[in-house]
Amino acid sequence: MTRFSKNLLKVFLYPVLVLLSYVWRLLHRRRVIYGKYEKMPIPVVCIGNVTLGGAGKTPTVIFLVDYLIKNKIKVHVVSRGYGGKFKDTVLVNPKIHTAFDVGDEPLLISQYANVWVSKKKKEGVLSAYKAGAEIVLLDDGYQNFSIGKDLNILVFDAEIDLKNERVFPLGNLRESPSSAIARADFLICIGSPISRRNLQNTFIQHHNSKIIEGKFKPNVTPLLKKRKLVAFCGIGRPEKFFSMLGALDMKVINKISFPDHHFYSEKQVTKILKIAERNDALVVTTEKDYVKIPKSYKKVIYPINIELHLSKRKKLLSELKSLVF
């Protein structure tokens, strides 16, 4: 299809997308008003976002899991397992399950805590409760209103200009930012100081007391700093991963991006490795992508561990503990 054909198709589809976006907003509003909000027998903390991927939700979940475990709190995570084939509620076992089974994000998080994959949030939470959990982190359940939540944490990628975004399917928003912010107990804004300030000035001035600022910090080995690199990933915003490597003055000679939650074939991985071999380079990717790499290739691909650093977090962490003790 030529560029002209694509543009022409967009022109004809635009009125349809506008209508569908309006219907989506109406249905969402109905879910907010008439949701069941069923109270669960243990505290439920929801971590969500307003965009279709790429906000930093998974690193936030891992950060909170680490904090709770260090405080000797039995935390489990419940996820719908996007991209996985399992339909029933299952406890993720990283030794036997693959990303094809349970999805890439649950498989990654299962390296840190017990993770339940469940298409039905209630079943997942109750399974965690029966298994001895003291608190549940609900990964990506912000737009689900079937169960009650004791704490809502909304994660923003401050680099995204939300003023120019539209609600799905016209754009990448799950709902309007103002609607999501109204239900939030805490807002985590991840990005540069300028982008965080712009986001706060535009949307969230009245939430200043509960705004937490965040930034990502990649952990890179000395070996990777010395060598040329071929970087690839399939995440919501691949440019964010590449820019983080660039900020560390890494010698990235080739950047290859795939769609979010992409599953890699042996042919694709082999092609990437050949590019690296021709240039005497090493291959790096994100931890989320690494769990989807065919096992036989994992020894020659380096996952970059990316830590989330949060400032002004004392109030959030205190409230988390108070839900249990």
Place 90 in a pLDDT band, splitting at 50, 70 and 90.
very high
- Which residues, in sequence order, are bridge partners of residue 218? 306
Q: What percent of the chain has pLDDT over 90?
A: 57
Give the integer Cα–Cα distance in Å for 46 and 79: 11
In tens, the pLDDT along 93-151 reads: 999 999 999 999 999 999 999 999 999 999 999 999 999 999 999 998 888 888 999 99
Model confidence over 272-294: pLDDT tens digits?
A: 999 999 999 999 999 999 999 99
The set of residues, in sequence order, having a beta carbon less than 8 Å from that of 211 and lying 6+ positions away, is 186, 187, 189, 200, 204, 312
Structure letter (DSSP) for residue 147: B
Determine the pLDDT at residue 38. Answer: 92
Backbone angles phi, psi at 214, to 5 degrees: -135, 155
pLDDT, one tens digit per residue, over 244-259 is 999 888 999 999 999 9
86: alpha, beta or left? (left if phi > 0; alpha if psi -120 to 50)? beta
Q: How far apart are CA 165 and CA 170, in angstroms?
A: 9
Q: Please check the confidence at residue 207 and state whether its pLDDT lies above 80.
A: no
pTM of the model: 0.87
- Domains of the chain, each with CATH number or no CATH: 44-216+309-324 (3.40.50.300), 218-306 (3.40.50)
What pLDDT, on a 0 to 100 scale, did the predictor assign at position 65?
97
pLDDT, tens only, 152-172: 999 988 777 766 677 777 777
